[in-house]
Amino acid sequence: MTVEVKICGVRTPAILDAAMTAGADFVGLVFFKKSPRNLSAADAAPLATAARGRVKTVAVVVDPDDVLIETIATQVCPDVVQLHGSETPERTAAIKAQTGLSIFKAIPVAEAADVTAAARYEGIADRILFDAKAPAGADLPGGNGMRFDWAILGDASAPFALSGGLDASNVAEAIRLSGATLVDVSSGVETAPGEKDPALIAQFVQAARGAAPEHKKAS
């Protein structure tokens, strides 16, 4: 089984090209002012246009209001909306209804008990994304390069995505231990916050492609 790959925090045409050349399945466009990867809708629209039909675009937002969602949906036209804040199941359903788009819902994880929160989004979010819980007081809810114990996802049901501190050196082990069918990376393919590196992107995609979840390997 092939594991899908998302390269998050793409900000320039050159890095979009690098992600597509490497064979990424998704690229993330971040709409969060505190992030070093933040884009305006006007800056993101040409990137999304260049990506269309070649790689799926994911609009990453944090507790967005209806105006931001409408602006992104009409100007950027992404394939997916990734909700990376404290959106409730009701708010998640409302954003899905407003946009008609596929929804990734991020669930912050520090310990096994956090994984159960995902059940509240069953039948609402199209994919659950388990990400490392940000430290208290952090500026960003994601994109911090922090990881958690991947093995605690071993019993999570339904295909899910994994992020948090992944890079080319650890993504194969993360897939094997967690059973994730999609891996998402931001800091792990950067040389500085917000500065993506084409070689690191290529290495990450290659490492993820070569991995398979342990319990899904043919015996």
Ligand X SMILES: O=C(O)c1ccccc1N[C@@H]1O[C@H](COP(=O)(O)O)[C@@H](O)[C@H]1O
| Shortest CB 38 distance to ligand X, Å | 7
Q: State the DSSP H helix or E strand holding residue 175, giving kind and residue range, or none if neither.
A: helix 171-178
| Residue 166 in contact with ligand X, rule: CB under 6 A | yes
Pick from 150, 168, 140: nearest CA to 110: 150
Of 116-124, 139-147, 151-159, 208-216: span binding ligand X (CB under 6 A): 139-147
| Residue 178 in contact with ligand X, rule: CB under 6 A | no
Angle at 142 between CA 136 and CA 147, to 5 degrees: 85
Is the Cα torsion angle 155, 156, 158, 164 positive or negative in sign?
negative
Contacts of residue 9, defined as CB under 8 A and 6 or more positions apart, other chains included, come to 28, 30, 35, 36, 37, 143, 186, 190, 194, 196
Of 148-156, 158-166, 174-182, 198-206: span binding ligand X (CB under 6 A): 158-166
Binder among 64, 78, 108, 164 for ligand X (CB under 6 A): 164
Of 95-103, 172-180, 186-194, 197-205: span binding ligand X (CB under 6 A): 186-194
Residues found near ligand X in the complex (CB under 6 A):
8-9, 28, 30, 32, 35, 37, 60, 62, 84, 129, 131, 140-146, 163-166, 184-188
